[in-house]
């Protein structure tokens, strides 16, 4: 398994890859004793993900082109696929996604909370009908608001 810790404006992210695909992006430094910020264990997917995240945070990338293999149920994969279709700078509500998938907004929210690839699979773009909604990443709603403001059309050149 390849691993790299990436410094970002939100703090460190740990990027994990296995068997030629990205499997997890976690807020914080996971496994710091095993792998430092400059070591991707030679995993090309982790190296590519690291580069694409740096480009995204620098405002030079709006979508990711990576092989993904997060662990989850078939339903969660459907929700994550729907989230991945939300364009940079746009949002969709839990209810809109639920209607499209024939399920409940709560079920969509639960799947969002189990997303193991935040930012790459943009769960921050899913909001409540009457507000921001939750965010399970480090920093919670503050991080979600930062990500949404970062993607607003006024923040990009």
**Residues designated as active site:** 123
55 φ/ψ angles, rounded to the nearest 5 degrees? -65, -40
Residues 6+ apart with CB under 8 A from 123: 83, 112, 113, 115, 135, 136
User: Could you give the CA distance from residue 56 to residue 103 in angstroms, rounded to a whole number?
Assistant: 32
HSE of 106, CA atoms in CB hemisphere, 13 A: 0
Q: Are 34 and 46 in contact (CB under 8 A)?
A: no
Q: Are 50 and 13 in contact (CB under 8 A)?
A: no
Sole residue written with tokens 């699979």: 121
Q: Are 4 and 37 in contact (CB under 8 A)?
A: yes
User: Could you give the CA distance from residue 5 to residue 119 in angstroms, rounded to a whole number?
Assistant: 15
């Amino acid at each position: 398994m390849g691993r790299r810790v990436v410094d970002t404006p939100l703090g460190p992210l740990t990027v994990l890859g296995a068997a030629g695909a990205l499997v997890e992006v976690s807020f914080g430094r996971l496994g710091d004793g095993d792998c430092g910020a400059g070591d991707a264990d030679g995993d090309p997917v982790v190296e590519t993900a690291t580069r694409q995240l740096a480009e995204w945070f620098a405002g030079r990338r709006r979508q990711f082109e990576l092989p993904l293999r997060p662990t989850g149920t078939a339903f969660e994969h459907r929700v994550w696929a729907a989230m991945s279709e939300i364009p940079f700078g746009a949002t969709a509500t839990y209810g809109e996604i639920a209607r499209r998938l024939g399920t409940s907004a709560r079920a969509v929210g639960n799947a969002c909370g189990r997303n193991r690839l935040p930012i790459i699979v943009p769960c921050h773009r899913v909001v409540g009908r009457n507000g921001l909604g939750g965010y399970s990443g480090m920093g919670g709603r503050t991080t979600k608001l930062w990500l949404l403001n970062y993607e607003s059309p006024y923040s990009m050149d």
